[in-house]
A and B are shown apart, each in its own frame.
Chain A
Amino acid sequence: MLQEIGYQLRVIWACARKDVRSALTDRLFTIMGLFVPANVLVLMSLFVLAGSNAPTAVVMQDSGPYAQAFYQAMSQAHSFRLQITSAAEAERLIAAGGIVAVVTIPPEFDLRIQQNQPVQVGVEINNLNTDFTNDIRRAIPLSITSFYAKAFPNLVRVTPHETDLYPQDTDYIPYLAVSILVIALMMGGLMQAGLASAREWENETIKELLLSPASRIAIMLGKMLGSFLVGLGSTCIVLVVLILFLGVVPDHWLEMIGITLLILLIFNALGTLIKQRMPVIALTMGISLPLFFISGAFGPISFSTPLLQAIARLFPVYYQIVVLQHAFHSFLLNTYGTAGNVLILVGFAAGIMLLMTLVLRRSTVSH
């Protein structure tokens, strides 16, 4: 019995070591595997950053305290990326498509406010993109309200009284970055394991494995372990980018490490099921993005439609985002508890591994 266990452990280690060696000999594969997840993280973060605030020029034709206060109100509206320019420069920028809007604070802004006279703030919008246009249309009135609330607190009678569920706010970028981390791990894990597995089938070296007396589960575990070890490198890189460059630091380090490794393991297991390179690429790209969008990447799935919620719950990505958000930001996006979500993920991992073993047990060559 002990001898048998020792033999199967030896097979697991041999398969893992062989796959690591094979991966390291293929430089393109190694570089791709190492940097694809980090690349996904950076690109998606840039995409989010680029789309978050509308570049806007402010022409300050009055520099009095009220005009300055109005400018402050605009800068705190979370919608503008402001720059103060001259009128001519603003016109040049909007004509060249470099900015979305020009806001002109007119001369005598302060004087007219003091005299309780109406003031018109000029807003010129490049309305080719509805998303940005609506941002401007919403944010200008909001800035005016904020300006009045601060400048004339006695005039504004309705004020919000906010009670927060969590002790701190979680900004959009740190929230989204954690979801992107899951997708980066998914793409990296699928690609590493998928390509290693496909290489075995396409080069027909799978025959060497299928003809050995080793158990199928030992071979599968070995292959998974190999991809996992190679994937650790890319995981470290992606975490460094997330923590050091994006400044998203986990609240619970051990939990974050454990969950990250579990996520990698699940996608390694899934990748090991693939027998050809083309499906590896198709699957990696084809399922990562849809799952990213429906699994609560931008906010809790309870904010979306019941159908999307039901679909999201069918896939591990949703639970991975939930537990990883907890590891980073200490909040839980569902009611299953951390242990409950982890248990579901372990269930997914066990199910995929079982499927993997069945696939290899039933595997034969094509003729």
Chain B
Amino acid sequence: MANQSITNAVELVHLVKRFGKFTAVDDLSLQVEPGEIFGLLGPNGSGKTTTVNMLSGLSRPTSGQVRVMGLDLRTQTRQVRQVLGAVHQETALYEELSAWANLDFHADLFGWPKAQKKARIEEMLALVQLADRKDSRVSTFSGGMKRRLALARALLHDPQLIYLDEPTLGVDVQSRRALWDYILDLQKQGKTVFITTNYLEEAQALCSRIAIIDHGRLVALDTPEALTQKFGGSVVEIETNQLFQDLAGLRALPGVKLVEQDGLLLKVTNQAGDRVVPQIINLVAQGCEIRNITVREPTLDEVFLRLTGTALRD
């Protein structure tokens, strides 16, 4: 079994995955500390799912090393599977079977002690509030219920690391909140959680640290707050009385990264900090009357957009 005093729950070292000539993951190295909720973000096709598939042993790396809870995935695959609980994007539940049958099968597959099996399944179903639907076929469940059941299944064998691929994709707001609570509870229990998500709000709410990858390469890795400070600069939003014409002049100012105009609202993103804000205001004031000014930190979405050149999308 895994060493309890390990330094890293997950360690990816120079990980590479190629499909023919296409490199899906390109020299990716990162560490996830025990007990943290770690988020892996990236646009569609950035290599997120390939990375987590390698992390869970569903896909073999072309080169590089994966260590989970101190175990080498290549040589200690079986032990890694015992300490890993996975919730896939597509849930991978047997929809023709009942919730109970799904968990019962999982318990047998993972060798959960027979004497404790019934109690454990009941405990997991109660945790995700599906005890009253234990005998219903999974095909009759809503998207949120399926996610909760998949989470219950992943937790059933008491894994140390839980990997969740897009845990709230396609679920309603209420279910999303409930799932977030479960995930935060896992951290309180000392579990390590590895999440891939397309929702920056989710990453911001849950993750202690975030890695952003694009084209299979690591672009940034830090806490959400540090990322917004490091890559964000500030955003100046100016409301004018008429359409501002000199957008080129604004873009030419030192430190200005992005100028967007939405009707009478100008949004100027800069990385030069507050010192360029007066110049922006002066320039705009020369062209039209200013009605309102807001200076704020960028959102994680804006950081992401800047780093990857693309917005996150479902």
Contacts and interface: CB of A to CB of B under 8 A. Distances in A.
A367 B50 contact: yes
B144 to A, nearest CB: 19
B63 interface: no
B82 A204 contact: no
Interface in B89-136: 90, 92-97, 101, 105-106, 108-111
A207 B97 contact: no
A87 interface: no
A213 B82 contact: yes
A203 B97 CA distance: 13
Given A21-B97, A203-B92, A14 B108 contact: yes
Given A21-B101, A211-B81, A213-B78, A204 B88 contact: yes
Interface string A188-215: 0000000000000001111111111110
A288 interface: no
Contacts of A25: 96-97, 137
B92 A207 contact: yes
What is the size category of the interface that chain A forms with chain B?
Answer: 20 to 34
A211 B92 CA distance: 11
A204 B153 CA distance: 15
A22 B86 CA distance: 22
B27 to A, nearest CB: 18
Contact of A210 (B58, B79, B110): B58
A365 B108 contact: no
B197 interface: no
The binding surface of chain A is classed by DSSP as helix
Contacts of B94: 18, 22, 203, 205, 208
Contact-size category for B: 20 to 34
B92 A205 contact: yes
A364 interface: yes
Contacts of B84: 211
B269 interface: no
B160 to A, nearest CB: 14
Contacts of A336: none
Given A204-B92, A365-B59, A367-B24, A213 B97 contact: no
A204 B97 contact: no
A11 B53 contact: no
A367 B53 CA distance: 8
Contacts of A10: 108, 111
Contacts of B88: 204, 207
A13 B59 CA distance: 27
Contacts of A15: 109
Contacts of A214: 109-111
Nearest to A10: B108
Nearest to A205: B92
A26 interface: yes
Interface of B: 24, 49-50, 53, 56-60, 78-79, 81-82, 84, 86, 88, 90, 92-97, 101, 105-106, 108-111, 137, 153
Given A204-B90, A205-B93, A207-B92, 5 more contacts: A203-B95, A208-B94, A213-B110, A214-B110, A364-B60
